Structure 1
Amino acid sequence: MKITVRNGDTFWYYSQLFYIPIGLIIDSNPSHDPGGLKIGAEVEIPGFIKESYTIKQGDTLWKLAGKRNINVDALLLVNQNINPNTIDIDTTIYLPSRVVTPIVNGKQAYSSEVLEKDLRRLIEIYPFIKLNSIGESVMGKPLYEMKIGNGRKKVHMDASFHANEWITTSILMTFLNDYLLSLTNNLPIRGVQTLPVYSGVTVSIVPMVNPDGVDLVIKGPPKNMKSQLIKLNKGSSDFTGWKANIRGVDLNNQFPAKWEVEKERKEEKTPAPRDFPGDKPLSEPETIAMAELAKEEEFDRLLALHTQGKEFYWGYEGLEPPEAERLAKDFERVSGYQSIRYVDSYAGYKDWYIKEFQKSAFTLELGKGINPLPLSQFDEIYRDTLGIFLVAVYRWY
């Protein structure tokens, strides 16, 4: 919610007026000097929107403030062009409205278009989110990273490396929305107070690594590529089983961690709907972007969301740190998922990250069944994995 600075206004005053932590207000307004706001400048108040309201017989700002359980000065702040003592009936004013319900609806086919729409809305309401484009897909779609928080500890989460596992994006975006609501409404999540997390941890989220592939599964092939993609899909026009990117490369078999082993043993030797690791490691723009992000940030922990199996993998060649085993025990306890240290599969993002940085990294296999998992599993998957998300950002040994 945008407001205009008046004489004497401060971030601290806005914090008290709207019951929003001052750190969130400061981070929502990086171009402003917290020590001295300029009169007439525009400032963002996170966690609020403006709702239009038409004055009725008997209305006063004081009565409206009482009904909304807000200070009358909040109304005066967002309606600086009116005389509070003489408001005519049928005059339209704005009422500051606290956002208390989610923007994200995870229970839908979550395409890149839906993601873009939700991101725009979330950034508007929660401007302390830092949104970056870390690269582009084969078809030029932006690969978004969101950062929330400003702590020295760094936790990364990503989803939809595989096209027909797009429900992982729905799950991750739902967690993000719940985290944002918790911060601006001072509500714990499963007993976890999130403001200390925000202050101590930077959470990095790449919600859709493979937007071209996700859109192919959900919407079908673009007209200009239809014949080419049907040929890659073994002559079928049913793309629900497609895992790869739009060029037929499996993005989670693309990283230089025993890539040669995977290349040799995979049956697919040319582009295909799944399992082709490419002609060389990091040949695809999506995997290049993810590798560069990891090198730049050197996250303390990494979670890569996949489906299915109700299990997670956390080891690579004995290079995983001792902390990873402790985290794995906690993940298993809060989710009911099976903890598996080593699995005979390589060249994944988690494998490469452990090899490169010797830090904790996990591949989470959410839910159980045949991909793409049905949305009827959404509530169960979210319930099971929410504890993992919270442990990842909150528990430091």
Structure 2
Amino acid sequence: MAADLWVRGPVGLDAGTRVTRPRCRAVLVVVPTMTAGTRLLDLVSLLETDLRVQVVFTVPHTTERWHGVEEFVRGLHGVVLPWDQAVAHRFDLVLAASHRHLAEVHGPILLIGHGAGRVKPRRHSRKAGGATEPTTAVDRELLTFRGRVLPDVLALGTDSEVELVRERCPEATPNTIVAGDSCLDRMRMSRHLREVYRSVLGLTPERRLVVISTTWFTDSAFGRLPELYQAVVDALPAQRFAVAAVLHPNVWAVHGSRQVSAWLSGALAGGLVLIPPESGWQATMLAADWVVGDHGSTTGYAAAMGCPVTLASMCGQPQEGSVADVVRAHTLSLSWNCPLPEQAAAAGTRTAALAGAATEAITSRADRSAEILRDAMYRLLELAVPETPASFPLLPVPRPLPRWSE
């Protein structure tokens, strides 16, 4: 098939016969999911302007892949290598935000997380069926292959996660660094744009923004309470409130954007603002006045930014030390026996304690992740670090999807 043809790009034994910029270090960005891809773009922004560096992307697959990921990556307008071509070459640096397929790529690997924290919200993996042993994102089975530690640099968010690595995969400890959290840092550096984001979303100073945040799977807010969106839109007067929805990219990937929009069509007709999965959720959270969420990372990030949070759903008893556990301990549950504005006010009384606890659970290096991650990448690339300060771009404005009737 034509899609499987190798790309005449900047890598390979004969690359010197076609490149315009010679002797560039080649960086491979492995994008198995949209969630991983959006997080890795933070890293890409720290090195792609360097004339000594060439960045290429690939979407890994064996017999399957997530719907929409290929289109997302191609929409970035970088060089996209077929997976078979990517695993046939050695790169100077491999960037990953997922454990998937790391044993198949060649080159020093920097692995970051793609959510808030390395302690999973659930005690057990979805894939393990009847497992009884709690799992984390730093278990030996994820970080090693045939006795080899896969990441050359394992970037963690907090100091406490280093102890978790020592417990779950001690052989990976020498490869760990505490780098903080790039997602939270970008939100913190962009918070002064709150009024800009609100204006783009059509909000006047008098209107409050309520964001319904959901992760994916059957225990999520969308999985358990699909009627929540219509109910919140109907319960809040449009003159005083706007309602937006942020759904995990895997909801869109598994069910398809047409089906998700159709399921929410009633709420969309009533004014619900639907944020696309590839970008805009962080800016929407910064614009929010109240988040109704679940155990997903988006709720945790909103909490860390000081937004009032109320829980509509939780995955049973979240794993101790997870961001979800912190959010559960500091928030109230949604109740239909109490007016929503009163619940928003009650959530507002808990923001200070919640923000501090959530931030501590997500990062031990607040506002420093750009510097730390760039230094780690250039060490693996064996290049001198640029003299310019390391910084992420400000968050782009949200671009809601068209309403169902449009």
Give the TM-score normalised by structure 1: 0.29
Which of the pair has more CA radius of gyration?
A: 1
Give the TM-score normalised by structure 2: 0.28
